[in-house]
Chains A and B, each alone.
Chain A
Amino acid sequence: MRMPAPIRLRELIRTIRTARTQAEEREMIQKECAAIRSSFREEDNTYRCRNVAKLLYMHMLGYPAHFGQLECLKLIASQKFTDKRIGYLGAMLLLDERQDVHLLMTNCIKNDLNHSTQYVQGLALCTLGCMGSSEMCRDLAGEVEKLLKTSNSYLRKKAALCAVHVIRKVPELMEMFLPATKNLLSEKNHGVLHTSVVLLTEMCERSPDMLSHFRKLVPQLVRILKNLIMSGYSPEHDVSGISDPFLQVRILRLLRILGKGDDDSSEAMNDILAQVATNTETSKNVGNAILYETVLTIMDIKSESGLRVLAINILGRFLLNNDKNIRYVALTSLLKTVQTDHNAVQRHRSTIVDCLKDLDVSIKRRAMELSFALVNGNNIRGMMKELLYFLDSCDPDFKADCASGIFLAAEKYAPSKRWHIDTIMRVLTTAGSYVRDDSVPNLIQLITNSVEMHAYTVQRLYKALLDDISQQPLVQVASWCIGEYGDLLVSGQCEEEEPIQVSEDEVLDVLEGLLVSNLSTPVTRGYSLTAIMKLSTRFSSLNRIKKVVSIYGSSIDVELQQRAVEYNALFKKYDHMRPALLERMPIMEKTATNGPSETVQTNGETDSTILDTKHLPSISQPASQANDLLDLLGGNDVVPIIQTTVPTKPASAGGELLDLLGDLSLTGGPTPTPASSVPMSQPPFLLDGLTSQPLFNDIAAVIPPMTAYNKNGLIIEFTFERSNPNPNIAVITIHATNSTEADMTEFVFQAAVPKTFQLQLLSPSSNVVPAFNQGSVTQVIRVLNPQKQQLRMRIKLTYTHKGSPVQDLAEVNNFPPQSWQ
């Protein structure tokens, strides 16, 4: 019995749309699918097209249609154009290269690429160019290349984009399309021109050789662009009075790639860029789209400074445009150029800051990122005011990034310690729960190092706790500070503001309150318990503290329990060690900070200024080490243990030094080491670090300095300190000065010591020794000398002076006896 003809597509659509519920729709679909399946089983050629079309509709509604995949192939193989059209559409929608079925298409496509009707060829090219897998592309690349050379512009433009797809899937095939590109740009047809420019762009982006090869096209591209601009009205390609803006934009983009890093090409396109930048109509989006692309090109190539300023000013005008989209792209572009053209972008700072108040979320975010990039020592106060205001009022999504950015900016450019602390307080109190976890240890370190502000800081933090204990980062930092500086708090020593009157019991009330509060996280509880413990050496209410500690010895929270038990042990068996263990933290050495990755390193200032303001060299802190110490000390206490750094000097091969220095044991120079510190046969670091005074404010006066090297205007002096807990470590600071009339750049100091010693070199303050003794390069060397042998050293100096490289080796033998005995 013959089945009735399957219902037509549009009728099905109409029927399905009458369904009032999802269930009803599903029922209709299932019924129809069943009918379609049987129809497929009957191998009915007449209605296959109709059925697949219906299937595609149902697929769009979200229903499975995989059983139609093979049918699409049959349609593609059919001779009827209608069949092919639907078949190829179905293939593009239902098949993807993950299925083996799609490979069966290859032969059909190959035949259709050679079909006598260009619209069939077009279907094949389109399908191949949208979803062809690598295998298909390999098989059919030859056909595509042939069509790229045809004179039929309808096919030529499609072949060009198909070639782009082939190259994307199988980059090795790029070469074979090279000959066909020869006269692509002489075409008059805009479709071919446009797709050719896309093809050339793809090739240049992928291959530096292609890029150099195609640079010769710059004059031709410039000419085409010029004709577009100068030509009269062409209705076929006109958009709001601009002739073929799509083509203009692609040419500008290709010019950008060709001109980048190349003086000649950049010069050849200078005039046309200026012309486009000044003459393009800006009343509609299309004109601004072209200007946008032009600006991107100007900024990327080696353009004259006048042109660059023109570009930045265009962006500045964009910022004032009513159209939000224009403002958005302006901010995005300025963000890209802020590193290279910092001063020019600074001029638009106030407009950018105004964008922080924009209602559009995307614009606000861009404005925030850009604002951080523009902060520097000169504008820090004003900018911070705006950014803090923004932090108050912005969406929660922004708060974490904004807070991190503010911390980073404050750290780099704070005009005073008081200002810095106040800014941190402001962030913690307004956005305290959004602050990133790593801010807490960073802030603690900062506070520790601001010695004169301790009393002020702890007082402010204490007052903040009285107001609100819900913001965990704030609470953690506050607990830590109270634990450290609680004595300053109760003795009312604050100078910066009116000291508050608070008793030991009140302070302990607050800390104990944190322990029991539901708002406190386990980490916070840990902080407050440790803080309470620390106060045992600062307060007199010993009994109360002992009681708290013993109660938590049976806490369900394992972390708290462990701490409490250990603290209890301190009270009972190790009471003699307690004062030393809980002593005030020494100044911590600076670790690398983590800020939002887009914040610029140097906002118009050089790196060396940042380094100069920190007299302590930087040490990279292995996180695992710090965490080990966390348990007993209850905070991210940074113990100044000796480690090697990862300095920023260019790496020198340890090998070359080895050759020259023969039997001497070798360390020094930049060698990135693993995170573990140099092994010392000493009692555990823990106590070392804790009982030591800060390493660097030592008895320097006792050991006389010496001149280690004096030649060709370069003088290197050594000054000494003995490391307190460990008398076997000598800490030498080298001071390099240069009395000649030219700077010594790329200055690298390396040292080697005999086998019985161990040596560590920390990073230098800079690698330029300025002329005329205008400054010095300092670097710290630590030498371990357990056998107390006479210290001797071989040093190697390399630098560039007046353009020539200089290298010298020297022995240093005149160490004062106090430095090693």
Chain B
Amino acid sequence: MMHFLLLFSRQGKLRLQKWFLPLPERERKKIVKDMTTMVLARKPRTCNFLHWKDLKIVYKRYASLYFCCALENQDNELMALETLHRYVELLDKYFGNVCELDIIFNFEKAYFILDELLMGGEIQETSKLSIVKSIEASDMLQETMEEYMSKPAF
């Protein structure tokens, strides 16, 4: 299973943090710091995998954002790259040509989409279409038409 998934910028600013294991706040902060330091220090044209403690770290850069996740030993790291890519594709479909700013200003949406793709560190749906439909339907449920028309509900 995946232990955590982090999104951070090239300056090390955190844009999303999904934890699939219970960890105290200070430990999460430490891990975020370690990950950003390690990943940002990587030279270009090196492979996308790292070893950290007993976990496999898989990371990939998309424009100005780093997507970084931690796997257990028996997990398939090549497939994890596909998972990260699938998430980016979903964000792109939802926001239309997604960029970092979209995720900054709509971070809660990014989480909602992620929660349709992954649960408990495992993939829950392999059909892009299905996920997009679920998110659209959920958005519809938000109470007023005004809210749905992406005027901020809150």
- Chain A positions within 8 Å of B, measured between CB atoms, are 8-10, 13-14, 17, 47, 49-50, 53, 56-57, 60-62, 80-82, 85-86, 89, 93, 96-98, 117, 119, 122, 125-126, 129-131, 133, 154, 157-158, 161-162, 164-165, 168, 190-191, 194-195, 198, 236-237, 239, 244-247, 249, 253, 285-286, 288-289, 292-293, 324-329, 359-363
Contact = CB atoms under 8 A, between A and B. Distances in A.
Contacts of B46: 324, 359-362
Contacts of A326: 78
19 contacts: A56-B108, A96-B23, A96-B25, A119-B141, A125-B119, A129-B119, A131-B19, A161-B124, A162-B119, A190-B127, A194-B123, A194-B125, A236-B129, A237-B126, A237-B127, A249-B76, A253-B74, A293-B79, A362-B47
B152 A60 contact: no
Contacts of A190: 125-127
Given A285-B78, A292-B78, A191 B115 contact: no
B74 to A, nearest CB: 8
A191 B126 contact: yes
B124 A195 contact: yes
A56 B83 CA distance: 25
Contacts of B9: none
A286 B76 CA distance: 11
Given A161-B122, A194-B124, A362-B47, A85 B138 contact: yes
Interface residues of B, number: 55
Given A129-B120, A293-B76, 9 more contacts: A49-B153, A161-B122, A191-B126, A195-B122, A239-B82, A249-B79, A285-B81, A325-B78, A360-B46
Interface of B is mostly: mixed
A96 B27 CA distance: 12
Contacts of A97: 22
Q: Counting chain B CB atoms within 10 Å of each CB, which of A80, A129, A164, A326 scores highest? A: A129
Contacts of A60: 14-17, 107
Contacts of A130: 20, 115, 119-120
Contacts of A9: 152, 154
A136 to B, nearest CB: 11
Interface of B: 14-17, 19-20, 22-25, 29, 43, 45-51, 74, 76-79, 81-83, 104-105, 107-108, 111-112, 115, 119-120, 122-130, 134, 137-138, 141-143, 147, 152-154
Secondary structure type dominating chain A contacts: helix
A245 B15 CA distance: 28
Contact of A126 (B29, B81, B115): B115
Given A86-B108, A126-B119, A154-B134, A191 B47 contact: no
B47 A328 contact: yes
Nearest to A289: B78
A773 B69 CA distance: 61
Contacts of B112: 85, 89
A361 B82 CA distance: 23
A306 to B, nearest CB: 24
Given A82-B143, A130-B119, A328-B49, A246 B79 contact: yes
A293 B77 CA distance: 10
A86 to B, nearest CB: 7
A246 B23 contact: no
B61 to A, nearest CB: 14
Given A154-B134, A245-B79, A293-B79, A96 B22 contact: yes
A26 B29 CA distance: 18
A191 B78 CA distance: 20
A194 B50 CA distance: 27
A10 B79 CA distance: 35
B24 A98 contact: yes
